[in-house]
Amino acid sequence: MIYINVSNEEKVKLKLNGVGITNDGAPCIQVDNADRVIINAEDGSSNYFVCNSTNDVNDAAIFSKDDLRIKGNGSIYVSCANEHGISCNKDLEIEECQLTVEAEKTGINSHKSISIFSGNVNTKGDNCGIRCRDYIEIFDGYVSSCGGKKADADRGGIISDSGNFYISGGTVIAVGMNQTVPNGQCSAVFSFPSVVAKDNTVGISVNGGSIASVQPNKKFSCVLISSPDLYIGAVCDVWLSDTYYDNFTLTDPITQAMLDGVQ
């Protein structure tokens, strides 16, 4: 594992260039104290952090008690078999990198804030794909988030406990049993009339062009789609496992819709 414990004034930078860590009983990266930690995936590098088991205190494959920033033009794969994938007690920022997270609980979790500036982020978790206690903001990039196989209010694709969720750019697709409704960029949150079984690919297209699609590994009933390609008046076609399912029209900047069923 990589263990970090420095003074409150010190910043730590980790440059990853083909790093692979598998650990049992503790995180692969654990930050106990620092001003800030930056994890940088070097250009073209492939890196992985697989935690087969950890505890309910340091409860993630990558765990930080302080501010954490994940960036770079490489790829990072994170997996945790019994807790969260990435968990931060303070502010968590993601920029540029190809980040894939799979977890038994929540894929990407923060007790304060989550900011995604760019990159390609794909996360899946039993509880949530992405969850934050305070606010979530997505500025750009492509974000796919699946989670929340139970219908509890605090479980879903992307969940902000405070309700503070803002999308200012990029393409976002989130799938689960629940979903925090965002503000900002033109978006839609729509629900199926009944629960859809896992491994059914759900996709959205406008004017014959695909906006986004994802294959959740858990059952789901609610989908968020946000994209610069959406606009008021757009007719969104919903596809389920490559079969046309239904459509709805965006009537507001943030439209909520209930699907009727197969047409």
Beta pairing, strands 209-214 & 220-226 = unpaired
Q: What is the DSSP letter of 261?
A: -
pLDDT value, residue 153: 77
pLDDT value, residue 262: 56
**pLDDT band of 160, cuts 50, 70, 90:** very high
**pLDDT band of 260, cuts 50, 70, 90:** confident
Residue 4's CB is within 10 A of a number of other CB atoms, namely 17
Beta pairing, strands 202-206 & 209-214 = antiparallel
Euclidean distance between CA atoms 146 and 98, whole angstroms: 16
Euclidean distance between CA atoms 145 and 124, whole angstroms: 6
For residue 73, the number of C-alpha atoms closer than 13 Å in the C-beta half-sphere is 2
Contact between 129 and 155 under an 8 Å Cβ cutoff? The reply is no
Average pLDDT value for residue range 165-180: 97
Closest CA to 25 of 52, 64, 45, 65: 52
pLDDT, tens digit, 9 for 90 and up, residues 195-244: 999 999 999 999 999 999 999 999 999 999 999 999 999 999 999 999 99
- Cα 216 from chain centroid? 12
Dmax of the chain from CA atoms? 61
Task: Pinpoint the alpha helices (H) of 131-262.
Answer: none
Q: Going edge to edge, which strands form the sheet with 235-240?
A: 209-214, 202-206, 235-240, 243-249
Task: Please say if the pLDDT value at position 113 is more than 50.
Answer: yes
pLDDT value, residue 159: 97
Residue 32's CB is within 10 A of a number of other CB atoms, namely 13
pLDDT value, residue 263: 44
pLDDT value, residue 12: 98
Euclidean distance between CA atoms 171 and 211, whole angstroms: 8
Contact between 65 and 90 under an 8 Å Cβ cutoff? The reply is yes
Contact between 113 and 91 under an 8 Å Cβ cutoff? The reply is yes
Q: In the predicted model, what is the mean pLDDT of the chain?
A: 96
**pLDDT band of 5, cuts 50, 70, 90:** very high
